[in-house]
Chains A and B, each alone.
Chain A
Amino acid sequence: MSAAPHALRPQAIGAPPASRSVGMTKRPHVTIRGLCKRFDKAVIYDNFDLDIPRGELISVFGPNGCGKSTLINIVAGLIPADAGQILFDGMLLNEIKFGYVFQNYREALFPWLRAFDNIAYPLKMMQVAPAERRARTEKLVAHLGIKLDLNLYPYQMSGGQQQLVSIMRALIVEPEILFLDEPFSALDYEMTLFMREQLQRIFMETGTTTVLVSHDLEEAVFLADRVLLLSRHPARVADFAPVAAARPRTDATLSDPEFVRTKAHCLELFQREVRRA
């Protein structure tokens, strides 16, 4: 992962350009400056700037191939950026604790470990003693109130249960920031609805800064405090629209006029971007 020396930190972290902090009352958690990334000839990001506010759930939405997943993959260090700087409260990625949930839970979990040991694996990497690993895992499970038989192997569980295990594995380190890459897109609709509820509950419980990539606008708006709408690549911020609806959001929220208006606004921007091709 990108381990640049500390000397490269910019001096003015506390004072991002005013235009970008409009509407943000809190100090940003993540600051992205001058991000560049290209795949072969396609320029995905060209001098891209973004502030991610602390303690909010951000949905990333945009046209196909605009670089939604690329954004969180770069921020989480899965793929290197060509240029640019990403700081978390002024710190580098290797100085913070973060969680990452993959879209493909089947390939992201370890099938040779029971669900319990899958969840505890990041603690093992942090050299936490086995007894404490057990205690912390049990505490997390109890805290989230998730009813799962953790002695099962992943392949003995349903898709939704496996993705819950993935999410718990990401949460076990008490991350400062949680990344989810289209976490529910491989699940059926019934399970997706259930999982949205679970994720909202987890977010309300922990208040962890969360960045969720979604290809479903309703889901993106339903879960988010802010929807980050990206343009076609090279990606620009088309809008960073706040979603005002109170939590916990329920089925009733979906027909709430304010919610419907926000969603329509996002859809309009999205379609404008799609047509721009």
Chain B
Amino acid sequence: MRSDYFKPFLPVVGVAGLVAIWSLATWQQWVDPVLLPSPIATFKALWQGMNGGTLGFDFVKTVYRTAASTLIAAVIAIPLGIVLGSSERLYRSLEFVIDFFRSTPASAMFPLFLVLFGVGDETKISVAAFGAILVILFNVAYGVMNARKTRLLAAKVMGASSLRVLFDVTLLESLPQTFVGLRNGVSLALVIIVVAEMFIGSQDGLGHSVFEAQQLFDMPRMYAAIFAAGVLGYGLNLLFLLIERRFVHWAGK
């Protein structure tokens, strides 16, 4: 059928529409060209920046910081979440503390972490990790707590020890929710890293690039850096989705 044939191309429609309106707006000068450069100027800045320009270097820096903070967060939060989730009493007694800090904007912690770690990479990475830990922890614990009782009982009735039930059933049961936590965690880490790169004395990174271009009034470069950050955020989310689909093939089925 015709409509089915065009289906895979539907997402392109939105992109094409956006670029078309953008082109029209700059061509007709609806917006001051200083504030909104043309798509061509922007993509040229993006291309040049990523090909030997500083933007490529900034991009890699931000990827490194986001990946490091997410990795640290996962290594701490996943085992801790399993422990907390395994004991409902333990989780209930810590629930308020977790929820409180989960609701505290991580950016409010910058001054504290600056005192603790100085102005280097450690501060940015540790604040982002702090934010991501709570998100991942909370999701892993819920994944473990919501492991289907019938499945746990089935393993037990087949003679599995408590430890076996934990490794053979509970952990696998919690995987889909763990991935929800990881996806949210990496998104939050990226947000915190970019903000940190803007305001806490950074020399590089996408946040720094956006901020610097704005200070120099180099609008094409600023938009290019924003796009690069968007691509990074989308790409990280997609990466985790693909990993999830590969390793948690049963999720939602």
Contacts and interface: CB of A to CB of B under 8 A. Distances in A.
Given A153-B249, A153-B250, A155-B253, A108 B158 contact: no
B248 to A, nearest CB: 8
Interface size class of A (residues with CB under 8 A): 10 to 19
Contacts of A104: 150
B17 interface: no
B169 A107 contact: no
Chain B's interface size range is 10 to 19
Given A110-B172, A126-B159, A102 B253 contact: no
Contacts of B158: 121-122, 125, 169
A151 B182 CA distance: 30
Contact of B154 (A77, A102, A112): A102
Nearest to A76: B157
Contacts of A77: 157
B150 A112 contact: no
A78 interface: yes
Given A76-B157, A100-B157, A125-B158, A111 B250 contact: yes
A100 B159 CA distance: 11
Given A102-B150, A104-B150, A111 B253 contact: yes
A100 B158 CA distance: 8
Contact of A112 (B153, B157, B172): B172
B151 interface: yes
Contacts of A78: 153, 157
B92 interface: no
B44 interface: no
Interface in B3-59: none
Interface in A96-133: 100, 102, 104, 107-112, 121-122, 125-126
Given A77-B157, A126-B159, A110 B150 contact: no
Contact of B151 (A100, A108, A169): A108
A111 B154 CA distance: 13
A185 to B, nearest CB: 14
Contact of B160 (A109, A125, A155): A125
Which one of B154, B159, B169 has the highest number of Cβ atoms from chain A below 10 Å of its Cβ?
Answer: B154
B157, B164, B168 — most chain A CB neighbours (10 Å): B157
Interface of B: 148, 150-151, 153-155, 157-160, 164, 168-169, 172, 249-250, 253
